[in-house]
Amino acid sequence: MQTVPIALLGCGTVGSGVVRMLTEDAEFLAQRTGLRFDVRYVLALQANPKARVALTGAKWVTSMDPILADKDVGIVVELIGGTTFALECSKAALSAGKALVTANKAMLARHGGELFPLAHSTDSCIGFEAAVAGGVPVILGLRDGLVANRIRAIYAILNGTANYILTEMTGANKPYEQALAEAQAAGYAEADPTYDVDGIDAAHKIAILAGLAFGEDIAFDRIRIEGIRGLQLDEIVNARQLGYVIKMLAVAERMSDRRLSLRVHPCLVAKDNPLASVDGPFNAISMFGHAVGHVLMYGRGAGQSPTASAVVSDLVDVAIGHARRRFQSLKIWPGKTRPAQIVSTDNLVSRFYLRLQVADQPGVMAQVTRILGSHQISLSSVLQKEVPLTGPVNVVITTHRAREGDLRAAVDEIDRLPVTKAATAWLRVIDLPAEGIDAGDEWNRKE
Amino acid sequence: MQTVPIALLGCGTVGSGVVRMLTEDAEFLAQRTGLRFDVRYVLALQANPKARVALTGAKWVTSMDPILADKDVGIVVELIGGTTFALECSKAALSAGKALVTANKAMLARHGGELFPLAHSTDSCIGFEAAVAGGVPVILGLRDGLVANRIRAIYAILNGTANYILTEMTGANKPYEQALAEAQAAGYAEADPTYDVDGIDAAHKIAILAGLAFGEDIAFDRIRIEGIRGLQLDEIVNARQLGYVIKMLAVAERMSDRRLSLRVHPCLVAKDNPLASVDGPFNAISMFGHAVGHVLMYGRGAGQSPTASAVVSDLVDVAIGHARRRFQSLKIWPGKTRPAQIVSTDNLVSRFYLRLQVADQPGVMAQVTRILGSHQISLSSVLQKEVPLTGPVNVVITTHRAREGDLRAAVDEIDRLPVTKAATAWLRVIDLPAEGIDAGDEWNRKE
């Protein structure tokens, strides 16, 4: 049996969940892993009272100094969150050669380029399974399980709050504002939901996944981010009628010219796509590799217990020695890889959904289709919704594959028409790629 | 850059897929992992011609002796299959202190109790990601990602052939024999489909997963195995009408008395269950942990490239040194754990589907319901199918939750009734458990 002294930074929801797991499940973990984790320090201004009672032997501190000075403590678990004090503490821990385990996606997405090289320079390591998709072991699966795959694309639902709101809008025809208010009341959304509904949190997570998947350094500010704030119920209802569900997807794709497309946005997903049935607070990640084809992982992306489960799996990984060896061996970490070339979404090609609000008069559709045609956009379907006798008409259009830049230009032009009564709503329609498993036909041919 | 000499046993479909990946993707792998795998030996009577060309430096041998004698070769990849020569070679490799990487589920399920202790005794290790669910990194996810979880249950589609046949029966109303013949023609089923359609292959895989999940030694012959051979199209059609899909599930559940239920059988799965939409040759594994709740992994369970992807991920794992450390640290391997107590399915409680074939005469339903009632089985729904004017009537019954032993006794009794014209067909109805995440309410209470 090996005792592993650790320091815990932050003792809020996730931190106290980790304390609970390490104390209530100590015997189970010891029996399974041969490890006994000993929380020697907790750096927290306020602490969950139960955690304070459970950790009889811990020193409660308010600075990193005693932790850094204690040579026995080889692992620091950062669960403070944010990118100021947490970053400062994390850098101090890594500088002192201590392994860092963290659930802090914002910090890794924005400062990974600083933290990972620092970890290498002190022969340390960073465990971050809890930073993406909570209890779903997607970091492990992507980094280790699919290590031999050239990843072609990742399509993921990575924000449970936004997905919960969209699920409520879809399932119960609730407008966005009502669904958000109810999510806040149920504890699924924070008082300030910006990070979640505006797609920033999902962007942090796809930045981390893309870095691992493609082995390139991701500049976070190059990710295109569009959230669900302002999404109208009309879009949800129309999508359903067309056989789609609207999901906020985080997407990372390798283009044919080897550049990357990285983005977060609401989009139409066909009903039979596995991601379409990922409801409520769940997360799911569809990954496409050249050898494995489509692999999907699904589970709870947040919450005290699922996140603590991921943190403790990282603790075991670090304590066994895997994390350090992996850090030394694999060349997929920021600082070891080249910067990614990221394409503008204007150059992406996809299908589109549009909802126009136009005057109900002859010749309108002719004007609209002329504009779309002049931008090389051809129509796949047109649906004119029944409306009250007065007021503008809603026209729902889906297009064949077109360049996004062309679509934007066409929409700008349509919105300047005198017959257009309100800004056109438009969304991307996502088609998952064919699996494209490298079947090695030449190898498999019978001779 | 580290060069890793390996020996390959078997060079058929998967073996040549591994050769292809290690040669065609050598630069990619070296760049990503810092490792260069060098196939020094291939033990094979016949070899894929392309593999023979690609491996310029390999010695082609027909016995283990030169491999065992070469101290440079630290990893042996067993892709022969079967439990005779493959077992002999694997034991020889482990005895010589070489790490074993294998895709051989039959060997691990039936002889793990011998192989794992042998690996420990020589400070070696076994990598077996490819043995379950092909390219899906479920071994990694379960063993490492969910290491801190008490696993409550696993429900899995682990045989792509059986699932392909069921998908064809369900989607196109094809009888079993036709769907099997087409699967054979399409290369999804072998000429002798016994292992696949009779559930034996899936049982091998759930034995391996259950061993890891529960940390107990699984006696393979205690697994109850029922395949899909003989499944009638009636059951598929009736299930659909009731809102279900029939899937062959491999199930491992921890009972409240801590015993395990391990079984493979066709069963009714509600249409909105994520497993219901796993079609064709795909695999999926639903796992329930006390901390993470429901985690699902999905992907291709077989095929050259997906399986090779898993084998190569194990090669990296072993070469980096993870596998050996994990073997030394974790206490979840056969020989380090206690034997599982496995319950008879007679003691299981679930809902059931029955199709009776009875004479169309007054009083029949009274006799049937009296028998069911006398065995503490209450009905949830009854559907009498319209039939030709003569001949027996099909009566489809679903029950509330009942003991399987009681159900069997009742069916025996019904089948002995003079009015019963053919043996009653019956299937289990599977309800996924509530997630039951350990929410720690006491810990989370605001004070």
| pLDDT per residue as tens digits for the range A302-318 | 999 999 999 999 999 99
pLDDT at A132 over 50: yes
Q: What's the rounded mean pLDDT across residues A145-166?
A: 97
Q: What are phi and psi of A96, to 5 degrees?
A: -85, 5
Q: pTM for the whole thing? A: 0.95
Q: Which residues 6+ apart lie within 8 Å of A76 measured at CB? A: A6, A7, A9, A67, A89, A90, A93, A98, A99, A100, A101
**Closest-approach residue (CA) in chain A for B150:** A28
The structure tokens listed for A135 are 């209890």
Cβ separation of B299 and A309 shorter than 8 Å?
A: no
Beta-bridged to residue A429, according to DSSP, are A268, A351
pLDDT score at B335: 78
Q: How far is A384 from chain B (nearest CA, A)?
A: 32
Choosing from A91, A98, A205, A247, the catalytic residue is: A205
Q: What share of chain A is helix, strand, coil (3-state, %, to 5)?
A: 40, 25, 30
Residues of A in contact with B308 (CB under 8 A): 148, 291
Q: What percent of chain A has pLDDT over 90?
A: 86
Q: To which residue do tokens 């360049």 refer?
A: A403
As a whole number of angstroms, the distance between CA B31 and CA A153 comes to 20
Cβ separation of A17 and B443 shorter than 8 Å?
A: yes
The answer to whether A318 faces chain B, any CB pair under 8 Å, is: no
As a whole number of angstroms, the distance between CA B318 and CA A8 comes to 31
Q: Which residues 6+ apart lie within 8 Å of B236 measured at CB? A: B166, B169, B170, B173, B246
pLDDT at A8 over 80: yes
pLDDT score at A215: 92
Q: Where is average pLDDT lowest: A387-396, A397-406, B370-379, B385-394?
A: B385-394
As a whole number of angstroms, the distance between CA A49 and CA A107 comes to 28
Cβ separation of A447 and B300 shorter than 8 Å?
A: no
Q: How far is B1 from chain A (nearest CA, A)?
A: 9
The answer to whether B4 faces chain A, any CB pair under 8 Å, is: no
Give me the residues of chain B with pLDDT under 70, please.
386-389, 439, 444-447
The answer to whether A13 faces chain B, any CB pair under 8 Å, is: yes
Cβ-based neighbour number of residue B191 at 10 Å: 5
Please write the tens of the pLDDT for every residue from A228-267: 999 999 999 999 999 999 999 999 999 999 999 999 999 9
- SS3 letters across A246-297: EEEEEEEEECCCCCEEEEEEEEEEECCCHHHHCCCCEEEEEEEECCCEEEEE
As a whole number of angstroms, the distance between CA B88 and CA B435 comes to 43
Let me know: does A174 contact A168? Beta carbons within 8 Å.
Answer: yes
pLDDT score at B68: 98
The answer to whether A63 faces chain B, any CB pair under 8 Å, is: no
Q: How far is A43 from chain B (nearest CA, A)?
A: 19
Q: Is A50 a catalytic residue?
A: no
Which of A136, A293, A310 is closest, CB to CB, to B135? Answer: A293
In total, chain A counts a number of residues equal to 447
pLDDT score at B48: 83
pLDDT score at B435: 79
Q: What's the rounded mean pLDDT across residues A325-334?
A: 87
Q: Tell me the C-alpha to C-alpha distance, in Å, between residue B384 and each of B119, B367, B398, B428, B436.
A: 58, 15, 12, 19, 37
Measured in whole angstroms, the distance separating CA A374 from the mean position of its chain's CA atoms is: 36
Cβ separation of B304 and A21 shorter than 8 Å?
A: no
pLDDT score at B447: 41
pLDDT score at B334: 82
Choosing from B105, B205, B385, B421, the catalytic residue is: B205
Please write the tens of the pLDDT for every residue from B350-362: 999 999 999 988 8
As a whole number of angstroms, the distance between CA B237 and CA A342 comes to 50
ipTM score of complex? 0.95
pLDDT at A388 over 70: no
pLDDT at A329 over 90: no
* A–B CB contacts, 8 A cutoff, strictly below: 248
Q: Chain-wide mean pLDDT for chain A?
A: 94
Which residue, among A396, A391, A382, A388, has the nearest Cα to A425 in the 3D structure? Answer: A396
Q: How far is A427 from chain B (nearest CA, A)?
A: 26
Cβ separation of A304 and B49 shorter than 8 Å?
A: no
As a whole number of angstroms, the distance between CA B84 and CA A296 comes to 35
The answer to whether A354 faces chain B, any CB pair under 8 Å, is: no
List the domains of chain B with CATH numbers: 2-127 (3.40.50.720), 138-302 (3.30.360.10), 346-430 (3.30.70.260)
- Would you list the DSSP string of A64-85? SHHHHH-TT--EEEE---SSSH
Q: Are strands A151-157 and A282-289 parallel, antiparallel or unpaired?
A: antiparallel
Q: Which residues 6+ apart lie within 8 Å of A39 measured at CB? A: A6, A7, A8, A19, A22, A55, A57, A58
Cβ separation of B299 and A298 shorter than 8 Å?
A: no
Q: How far is B270 from chain A (nearest CA, A)?
A: 14
pLDDT at A221 over 50: yes
**Closest-approach residue (CA) in chain B for A213:** B32
Cβ separation of A135 and B293 shorter than 8 Å?
A: yes
